[in-house]
Amino acid sequence: MKIVVLDGYTENPGDLTWEPLAALGDLEVHDRSRQEDVAEVIGDAEIAIVNKLDITKEIIDACPNLRYIGVLATGYDCVDYRYAREKGIPVTNIPVYGTNSVAQFAISLLLEICEHVGHHDQAVHEGRWENNQDWCFWEYPLIELAGKTMGIIGFGRIGQTTGRIAKALGMKILANDAHPNDAGREIAEYVDRDTLLAQSDVIALHCPLFPDTEGIINKDTIAKMKDGVILINNSRGPLVVEQDLADALNSGKVYAAAVDVVSTEPINGDNPLLTAKNCIITPHISWAPKESRQRIMDTAADNLRAFLEGHPENVVNL
């Protein structure tokens, strides 16, 4: 049985091993593949493992031996999973692997806005403390989070973990989610989205990208927010209308934003957030600690093994 990994480099740039998958068949790993070559790369393989490349209807039709598609991530919008279901091809994902790392990164982004640790470290190394006439200095407003309100849109595993950390910092937590639950109620008060927008000092996005969440941060929803709000997005880039956010940053309506994701990745040079005021941008790395990637590797192998044994797990297109 032939297994093809289409775009494996970001999952394993060399610090992990593909052995868990190699043990299940004849494994062929491509660090990167061009989108236009995906059908050719899959070829006669029965198993395709993908991260971000698109597996379209046309590609599925061009690969008649294909029996299984495994996604090395939680999000699976890169696969035409509905058409795969019609063809009897299960699509699996990795539902739990980066809960702690993504939540940790969300708080890291927020703390960087509040403290600007990197900027002040650089200033010291440049000799600006050594030559300062006072015993300390700061070049951005420093913000204490205790007593402030964080609103989290999307309150699943990651949202709740972020909420627990923020609550430990002394913040009040509001949550908006389609499926309120008791675990969430222990951390946050569930409110409607307009209430969350109006009352939050910090808004964090932890919701999936669906048609009804695409562009949920836009000029209209921003207008409902507090003046000087902080926005954190390390979920999905298209949740935000980037020009509207850039305009709000430049006007001061939004004090600062920190994003680990953008609408097109890698980022386009004309993305308006690149030149917006007080905007921190990191290159989609919330998920990337080695510990998280190891869980991806292990779960991907477990998913495929379960399929081969006749009891598929983590199938998203049943």
Residues marked active site are found at 236, 265, 284
For residues 276-298, one letter each, b for 16 or more C-beta atoms within 10 angstroms of the residue's C-beta and e for the rest, the string is beebbbeebebbbbeebbbbbbe
The CB-side HSE value for 78 (13 A sphere, CA atoms) comes to 22
Distance, in Å, from the CA atom of 122 to the CA atom of 92, rounded to the nearest integer, reads: 44
Residues present in the chain in total: 318
The one-letter amino acid code at 75 reads G
Q: Which residues are CB-neighbours of 114 under 8 A, at least 6 positions away?
A: 142, 143, 144, 145
| Cis omega (within 30 of 0) for bond into 266 | yes
The CB-side HSE value for 193 (13 A sphere, CA atoms) comes to 14
Distance, in Å, from the CA atom of 123 to the CA atom of 39, rounded to the nearest integer, reads: 50
3-state secondary structure of 39: helix
Distance, in Å, from the CA atom of 52 to the CA atom of 40, rounded to the nearest integer, reads: 17
Distance, in Å, from the CA atom of 129 to the CA atom of 11, rounded to the nearest integer, reads: 40
Nearest alpha carbon to residue 98 among 291, 238, 233: 291
Is residue 77 a contact partner of residue 34, using CB atoms and an 8 Å limit? Answer: no
Helices (H), 12-156: 19-22, 38-42, 57-62, 81-86, 99-115, 117-125
CB-neighbour burial class of residue 209 (10 A; exposed 0-12, middle 13-18, buried 19+): middle
Nearest alpha carbon to residue 150 among 192, 113, 184, 188: 188
